[in-house]
């Protein structure tokens, strides 16, 4: 593929669009998060935002792992396997040295620290204690009824636990022409002030709100509707994760991979990522890599980390970043 045809320009143009055609917005921060900024004598970040954009990636041609900065595929695979198993315990990630979700349980612990009910721990000390102590992990790990729990254990009014993903797989195998093969993560019962209590609430309302499947010419495509998109930091992870998820489901259901279609509602940059984004858009994309999946796996629950092999990945160096953990009840 020539540079001007390189599909990564969709992402780079999204960064450029936000930087050039922005609307500034404040972000909601819980008291424990604000306190962290006060302790560091820093101003909280804000976002520059656009509404309504879309990108598309043809998975039959390449694997869309961005090349204009290094994206950690090991983290993405472990996180996706964690999602599929509807595990809300970050100990699996911590034990595998994946730290994507460290901020969220630490906020809960930080709130308890502010009330002087637990010992003072830095985030690194907190994560180390989760790794070494199952009892401590059981007390502080829980992210609540987060979106991947909704994928597989949606609580119905009559007490059932609905496995939306299993239902989608069954429909894809039996009636793939249907237009209702949808998985929703947006469950108002567990979102912020709509939840019965803080303990019942999700750690954050689902950014990945809903996804839908389509089968055309024996190719499986997935369309993700993302309500909130941290474009510099997490969108590269989202692209690779849902592309891989689509490929896994295609294999399980007996199809070839089609497209990953990514629709954004609020797509934004945090103010502490502006300079990194400006640097990234100056970089020329390199050829996308290949993702090899163990063809023997035919059940979505049977995939293991060792079943995936990334080949020919030659990215630009990573760009330093900070996570902005926004949440509050």
* Matching residue, tokens 């797989």: 169
In whole angstroms, what separates CA 123 from the centre of its chain? 21
* Matching residue, tokens 């879309």: 54
Q: How far apart are CA 47 and CA 49, in angstroms?
A: 6
Torsion angles phi and psi, residue 230, rounded to 5: -80, 95
In whole angstroms, what separates CA 171 from the centre of its chain? 25
- Structure tokens given for 43: 């101003």
Q: In 3D, which of 18, 50, 44 has the Cα closest to residue 277? A: 18
Of the residues 15, 183, 185, 207, only one is catalytic, namely 207
- Chain length of the chain: 329
Catalytic residue at 253?
no
Query: DSSP alpha helices (H): ranges in 85-146?
Result: 91-95, 103-114, 123-132, 134-140
Task: Write out the catalytic residue numbers.
Answer: 207
């Amino acid at each position: 593929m020539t540079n001007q045809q390189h599909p990564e320009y969709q992402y780079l143009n999204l960064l450029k669009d936000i930087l050039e055609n922005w609307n500034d917005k404040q972000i909601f921060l819980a008291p424990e998060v604000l306190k962290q900024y006060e302790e560091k004598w820093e101003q909280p970040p804000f976002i520059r935002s656009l509404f309504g954009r879309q990108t598309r990636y043809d998975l039959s041609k390449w694997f869309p792992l961005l090349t204009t900065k290094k994206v950690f595929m090991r983290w993405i695979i472990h996180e996706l396997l964690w999602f599929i198993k509807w595990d809300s315990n970050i100990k699996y990630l911590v034990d595998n040295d994946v730290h994507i979700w460290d901020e969220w349980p630490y906020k809960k612990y930080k709130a308890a620290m502010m009330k002087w009910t637990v010992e003072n721990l830095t985030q690194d000390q907190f994560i180390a204690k989760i790794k070494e102590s199952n009892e401590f992990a059981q007390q502080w790990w829980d992210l609540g009824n987060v979106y991947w729990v909704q994928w597989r254990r949606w609580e119905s009014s009559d007490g059932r636990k609905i496995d939306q993903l299993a239902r989608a797989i069954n429909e894809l195998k039996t009636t793939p022409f249907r237009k209702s093969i949808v998985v929703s993560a947006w469950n108002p019962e567990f979102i912020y002030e709509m939840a019965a209590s803080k303990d019942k609430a999700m750690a954050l309302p689902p950014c990945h709100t809903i996804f839908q499947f389509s089968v055309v010419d024996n190719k499986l495509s997935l369309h993700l509707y993302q309500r909130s998109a941290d474009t510099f930091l997490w969108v590269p992870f989202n692209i690779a994760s849902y592309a891989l998820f689509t490929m896994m489901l295609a294999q399980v259901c007996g199809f070839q991979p089609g497209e990953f279609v990514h629709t954004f509602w609020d797509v934004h940059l945090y103010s502490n990522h502006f300079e990194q984004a400006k640097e990234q858009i100056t970089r020329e994309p390199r050829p996308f890599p290949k993702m090899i999946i163990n063809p023997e796996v035919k059940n979505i629950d049977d995939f293991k980390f060792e079943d995936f092999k990334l080949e020919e990945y030659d990215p630009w160096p990573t760009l330093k970043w900070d996570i902005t953990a926004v949440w509050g009840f």
